[in-house]
Amino acid sequence: MLRILKANPMLSLVLPILMALIIWIVSGIFHNQSADVSGLPMFDVFFRWITKIHFLAVLLGLSLLILEAFIWNTFINKQSLLRQSSYFPAMFYLFLYSCRHNLINFYPALIASLFLILSLKRLTESYKKEKALSEAFDAGVFIGIAALVYFPATVFLVFLWIGLLTMRSLIWREWLISLIGFLLPFIFSLVYYSIFYTPETFWHEKLVTAIGHYKKIMMPGWQQIILIASLAVTALVSAFFFLGKFTDNVVKNQKISALIGWFTLFAAISLIASPRRDACAFSLLALPFSFIFSNYFVRTKKKLIPEILFMILIVAIIVNVFF
């Protein structure tokens, strides 16, 4: 199957889109449940009404997912991170965001992913520029919007500073302007709440409760155990391959790969910070994992092991969605 997908690039794009459409339509029909958006700043103010109309939430969620997959795939190919143009990053991005029925919805982490992709893109554009105040500011604004919609994404402020240090030398003006950009969405939101609500509502009910009420972690079912095991094995194999090929790139691509590695770490930290720790909290890991998986499946010379891992992953996703 992998050989067929590699030999037919358009098939590796059309097939996952069709599969995602089937999964989202079928799961959207049989799992009619609203996303839990309580305690998340601004999302419930502007988007809660969408979550009440299930078919609209599924439609907007799928549209946003395909848009993000396209932007992410274009970024990977433009930077030549896989040594060749491929639709594998989009394919794995779609698969990972469709692997559980409670991901088939319109929820804060999905919106946050879009702005985190844009922030990562702006960070890479600062490479070797004499002045990168605009890039640092834009990246800060994007992360600020992501944190405003999905508060655990606040940890990516530290990722932003590490990213600036990775792509550039230490320039205090860029760090300061990035912090201003990060705070700007919160300032606008505070003004909005001051006009239509009360500032106390914004700070206490919207921000404090976003990290203050942890739900008890439920024991996973056998479907989830199969999915977690298949993802863990694939991630372990792909990560070893990724680290082994890390220096086999030009300097810029090494720095971008390092950024994706840091992104993985902070996505995991945001999972710990999330009070729910459900599939939606795990979803931010889909961004770096889609690249790390693609790096392995596109560049590996082995034939049998990648085919087995790929088929196991597909079967695990189907089992989790339809059983």
CA dist 256 and 127 (Å) reads 10
Please say whether the beta carbons of 111 and 61 come within 8 A.
no
Structure tokens at 188: 């606008």
Please say whether the beta carbons of 150 and 108 come within 8 A.
yes
Residues 6 or more apart in contact with residue 71 via CB below 8 angstroms:
114, 117, 118, 121
**Tens of pLDDT, residue by residue, the chain (323 residues):** 888 888 787 888 888 888 888 888 877 766 666 555 555 656 767 777 787 787 888 889 999 999 999 999 999 999 988 888 889 999 999 999 988 878 888 888 899 999 999 999 999 998 888 888 899 999 999 999 999 888 889 999 999 999 999 888 878 898 899 999 999 988 887 777 777 666 555 555 555 555 555 566 666 778 888 999 999 999 999 999 998 887 777 888 889 999 999 999 999 999 887 777 777 888 899 999 999 999 999 988 888 999 999 999 999 988 888 77
The angle subtended at Cα 312 by Cα 228 and Cα 257, nearest 5°, is: 65
pLDDT tens, position by position, 144-171: 999 988 888 999 999 999 999 988 887 8
* CB hemisphere CA count around 316 (13 angstroms): 22
Confidence (pTM): 0.89
Q: Residue 213's pLDDT is what?
A: 57
Q: Residue 217's pLDDT is what?
A: 62
Please say whether the beta carbons of 166 and 258 come within 8 A.
yes
